């Protein structure tokens, strides 16, 4: 199978062309955001009835129309799970928990001056909603990635929502994964309507404090619509990957790594950055050879043709500089000194180092979280973590001596800003003592 992937010489680009190449967004367009906001508004106002209507109109609901999955169905899904899949889910869950336990925040205290203490206290959220993609494919791994950080954080209530497929069937593996984690609150709803139900509540769904988990553009648009009324994690665009390689790399393995990411969907951007044109040509050849054997060959082909890139750099440092500007969701390093290059790669959601580190290992098994920033947001944000499932409080305790020490500073700054009641609030405490 012949396949044409767009090739770009990095050195030939103008500054504007380079910026255009890097530019992409995790945020859906204004039309989709407006449409999602309308769905959200209807569910907010209409509750279960509007949620069920949206499931029927846009897909994601069960044939029966039932919103909540009953406990006996969750138990049956776990009981009916074949041994290899159960063992895989258990192994993945154990690694995810092991990787996230060290993330649990530790309270801290500082005394800025004698008698002035500031405590920093972390508290888990009361209730979190985890959105798990579904419909055309099932993602029990995403359920694990969303639920386990919340459990490690100590969140007492976790609600999961995921859409049914086109036939109205719910993934039994996803239900089994939920029960494996002792989750008993699972709802069947998809897209913007599911986000709305979690954000505002319905007769059946209790509102949550925060919504986490990956989803399609409708989910992202809905998260943006509800943000401010409820906490959300990052907006997420199509899953993406950048592979950085030099002449030491195996082109067949690179081909597999690129197709692994392109398999996520036809909108997934995938790119190879290398100073070696011969390597790039060999990679394309291996893609053409391996692609026909894969189940999602057409999805992969479309992603590579429409959104794939081969970028020829002058050197590996040049390639790393580009990668840091691009800030990919996934960055895979196939270089002669991948450990060194990983230290220089400062803007990526998750970095995979070396010959033995496929992106699929991170998706399923290493324990690292696969809910990651996309669309360049990796320049400023990181993976979903335990800290995302709670919030910090700062508690300030002052005694008389402490306030006395701060009194001149308070008075001077209050006068400078013209906020004399601020000065009074400090002074009056001492004035009362002198009366």
330 in active site:
yes
256 contacts 289 by C-beta, under 8 angstroms: no
Q: Could you write out the DSSP letters of every residue in 106-135?
A: --EEEEEETTEEEEEEEEE-SEEEEE---S
Cα separation, 122 vs 144, whole angstroms = 23
Q: Which of 100, 307, 330, 334 is catalytic?
A: 330
Looking at the DSSP assignment, which residues form a beta bridge with residue 312? 9, 274
Cα separation, 350 vs 330, whole angstroms = 5
Cα separation, 137 vs 54, whole angstroms = 20
Cα separation, 335 vs 327, whole angstroms = 18
Which H or E element spans position 397? strand 390-398
Please measure the distance between the N-terminal and C-terminal CA atoms of the chain and give it in whole angstroms: 92
355 in active site:
no
Tokens of 281: 């040509």
Count of residues making up the chain? 435
Cα separation, 258 vs 252, whole angstroms = 10
Q: Which of 329, 334, 359, 370 is catalytic?
A: 329
Instruction: Look at strands 6-9 and 108-113 and give their pairing.
Output: unpaired
Q: Which residues, 6 or more positions from 281, have their beta carbon under 8 angstroms from its beta carbon?
A: none
40 contacts 195 by C-beta, under 8 angstroms: yes
For residue 296, CA distances in Å to 142, 144, 292, 302, 303 come to: 20, 24, 9, 10, 11
Note the helical H segments in 381-419: 400-417
Which residues participate in catalysis according to the annotation?
A: 329-330
């Amino acid at each position: 199978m012949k396949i044409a992937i767009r090739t770009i010489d990095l050195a030939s680009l103008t500054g504007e062309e380079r910026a255009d190449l890097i530019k992409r967004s995790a945020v859906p367009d204004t039309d989709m955001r407006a449409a999602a906001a309308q769905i959200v508004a209807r569910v907010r106002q209409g509750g279960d009835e509007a949620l069920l209507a949206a499931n029927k109109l846009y897909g994601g609901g069960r044939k029966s129309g039932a919103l909540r999955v009953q406990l006996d169905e969750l138990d049956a899904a776990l009981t009916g799970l074949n041994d290899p899949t159960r063992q895989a889910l258990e192994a993945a869950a154990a690694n995810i928990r092991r990787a996230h336990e060290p993330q649990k925040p530790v309270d801290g205290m500082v005394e800025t001056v004698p008698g002035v203490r500031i405590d920093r206290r972390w508290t888990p959220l009361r209730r979190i909603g985890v959105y798990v993609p579904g419909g055309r494919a099932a993602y029990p791994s995403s359920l694990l990635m969303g639920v386990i950080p919340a459990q490690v954080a100590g969140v007492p209530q976790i609600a999961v929502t995921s859409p049914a497929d086109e036939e109205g069937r719910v993934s039994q593996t996803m239900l089994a994964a939920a029960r494996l984690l002792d989750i008993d609150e699972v709802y069947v709803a998809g897209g913007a309507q599911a986000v709305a139900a979690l954000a505002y509540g319905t007769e059946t769904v209790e509102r949550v404090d925060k919504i986490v988990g990956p989803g399609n553009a409708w989910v992202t648009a809905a998260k943006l619509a509800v943000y401010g009324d409820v906490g959300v994690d990052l907006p997420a665009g199509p899953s993406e990957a950048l592979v950085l390689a030099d002449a030491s790399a195996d082109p067949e393995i690179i081909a597999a790594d690129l197709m692994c990411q392109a398999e996520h969907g036809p909108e997934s951007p995938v790119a190879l950055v290398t100073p070696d044109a011969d390597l790039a040509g060999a990679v394309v050849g291996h893609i053409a050879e391996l692609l026909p054997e894969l189940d999602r060959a057409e999805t992969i082909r479309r992603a590579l043709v429409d959104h794939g890139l081969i970028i020829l750099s002058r050197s590996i440092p040049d390639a790393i500089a580009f990668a840091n500007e691009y800030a990919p969701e996934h960055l895979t390093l196939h270089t002669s000194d991948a450990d060194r290059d990983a230290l220089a790669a400062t803007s990526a959601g998750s970095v995979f180092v070396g010959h033995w580190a496929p992106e699929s290992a991170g998706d399923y098994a290493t324990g690292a979280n696969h809910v990651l920033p996309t669309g360049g947001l990796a320049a400023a944000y990181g993976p979903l973590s335990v800290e995302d499932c709670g919030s910090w409080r700062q508690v300030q305790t002052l005694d008389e001596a402490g306030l006395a020490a701060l009194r001149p500073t308070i008075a001077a700054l209050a006068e400078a800003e013209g906020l004399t009641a601020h000065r009074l609030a400090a002074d009056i405490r001492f004035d009362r003592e002198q009366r």
